[in-house]
A and B are shown apart, each in its own frame.
Chain A
């Protein structure tokens, strides 16, 4: 069962990425609907009672979905590999440009040592890769107590906060 880090806690949370072919009607966990196939799932979206989220891949053009973002409480951004850094920019655009207020969740190759930066770019929850230790992931949220740049977690750069002695 996938583990989710959210609000400083790690707990089990099953999810499934819907694809156009197969649909497991018995599944009751979180359903993720790929943005590219959204039009195929409109009916499903209306009927489903379970939590659903929009699924963006790292090469998706987030600007194309600007109008529908607010109809989701959850947006997931995929990391096919953790070294694919496009998701960081996508998340910042969701937060800073579209002022998206819901939960933004990292999914895919999500590792402890990137969580601090993901959080800075506006991610609020994380499906951890299977082998990642829960307690280390929680600790990673506090890796640094100071940041030079402004970002989506805190727009004020250090240069607006320094007390000059």
Chain B
């Protein structure tokens, strides 16, 4: 992964000094509350329902074990001994003290970490595929491009005060595992007929109150122009995006209002004027950054027969092997997902003790690195297949071997009303009730791949619009209700789910899900996945079952 040089380190160190000074002036009453707000947000610091929350950046989801151990230490020293992984591949502390944040940032900077632009109306952490560099369907490794975009977006002076937050995702594989279609900018890396890297640029996707799928802005751009093209899009958005209404301020509204064609024209004419500048990306820089992501020295191994492997293993291993192990581009290797979705634990939460174990296991089994996925899970990307049983046993011992990756109970879930000041309803207790209702792993495996997304409000942090089943918390006269939608998808052919009808009380939701699943089980054809059945039969059969009057 990318290793800081003296330049990167100095920028992060100077950032710590800057925020230390800002915090001091704020506490001394020299910066007013309203003036401090965007400053702390651009450093990931929220004032939440009960305490501040600090969101720490994990650029495109990559961590080394030194960083994992540091997160564990920080969570013990300054917080309550656990951390929360987010849907943007970041990590949050839920209980830090504002006064101590500069110290936390200094501790992070020592291990090449920061909280830069993890919130606020600026360019946020760029995200990508959690299997980048190891996936079999990869065309272009997105990581060097994510790092190049990270550096370009860090303290970009022109775009620190955009109309609204701005999220970029990069995908370099056949299957889109980074939900690029619902980002402000989606970058699809591909190879042209000569085998050269090119990028397709999409803009105007997003969720929230007005969910939209991104439009193609440019079919192909050369690497040397990637950053100036992004500059042009951002400049058009910065100048013309709405600032009078925060619910209409995302780029998707601008692209829709202008139409994608006119928006594209504006971007192209802006780009014509800025493209021939010193910002052209030189081959040497692409090479320099790419050097950080070359393949490790893989051993010459052969693929194991997974049936044989399962026969040697204790009960429970087989379903984990089937569900949580992902094919690797190198024979004899695989990628393993540790879902942070055990029943009774808030989705995405990990204790400091578990982090330490995970770090040890990553050192022992996966070349000392770890990835975070936008599904709020952790990934060991380079595990030798012959070590799978041992790894599974060690994970089981600390409650981290739940075999539910991609299944109903591997839900994406925001912190909700238990923590977040914006939420209309709680999401964590609902997640737990669902996990308790559907605790039969065989049933879950029979239902198969299913994205369940639970957002506590329409800001859609858990991307409920693109969940195969999406649940949205709403507030009706002070009572928590939940709206259910089906048929959404975050894949390259992204679709938005449709609401099936009036909302439900929380205790009704597990039964509603059961009815939805029963419709699927009755109607599915052979190996048809839930989402495919949904798209084939539409929402009516689900609606009829769920809202049927008791006979």
Contacts and interface: CB of A to CB of B under 8 A. Distances in A.
Interface of A: 82-86, 88-90, 92, 96-97, 111, 113-114, 116-118, 120-121, 131, 133, 136, 143-151, 155-160, 162, 164-165
13 contacts: A86-B239, A86-B243, A88-B161, A90-B239, A117-B160, A136-B30, A144-B11, A144-B155, A148-B11, A148-B151, A148-B152, A162-B7, A164-B284
B5 interface: yes
Q: Which secondary structure dominates chain A's binding surface?
A: loop
A83 B38 contact: yes
Interface in B256-288: 273-274, 277-279, 281-282, 284-285, 288
Contacts of A89: 158, 235, 238-239
B241 to A, nearest CB: 9
B155 A148 contact: yes
Given A136-B25, A155-B278, A160-B282, A146 B11 contact: yes
Contact of B238 (A85, A96, A165): A85
Contacts of B32: 131
B157 interface: yes
A148 B285 CA distance: 12
Nearest to B235: A89
B517 interface: no
A86 B35 CA distance: 18
B18 interface: yes
A146 B238 contact: no
Interface of B: 5, 7, 10-11, 14-15, 18, 22, 25, 30-32, 35, 38-39, 121, 151-152, 154-163, 235, 238-239, 243, 273-274, 277-279, 281-282, 284-285, 288
B43 to A, nearest CB: 11
A144 B163 CA distance: 25
Given A117-B160, A148-B154, A148-B156, 8 more contacts: A82-B35, A84-B161, A85-B159, A85-B163, A97-B273, A118-B157, A148-B152, A151-B158
Contacts of B284: 159, 164
A88 B279 contact: no
A86 B238 contact: yes
Contacts of B14: 143-146
B161 A85 contact: yes
Given A82-B161, A89-B238, A146-B10, A111 B35 contact: yes
Contacts of A149: 152, 155-157, 279
Max chain A Cβ within 10 angstroms of own Cβ: one of B121, B238, B281: B238
A133 B30 contact: yes
Contacts of B35: 82, 111, 113
A51 to B, nearest CB: 27
Given A89-B235, A162-B288, A155 B159 contact: no
Contacts of B277: 96, 150, 155
B424 to A, nearest CB: 25
A82 B42 CA distance: 14
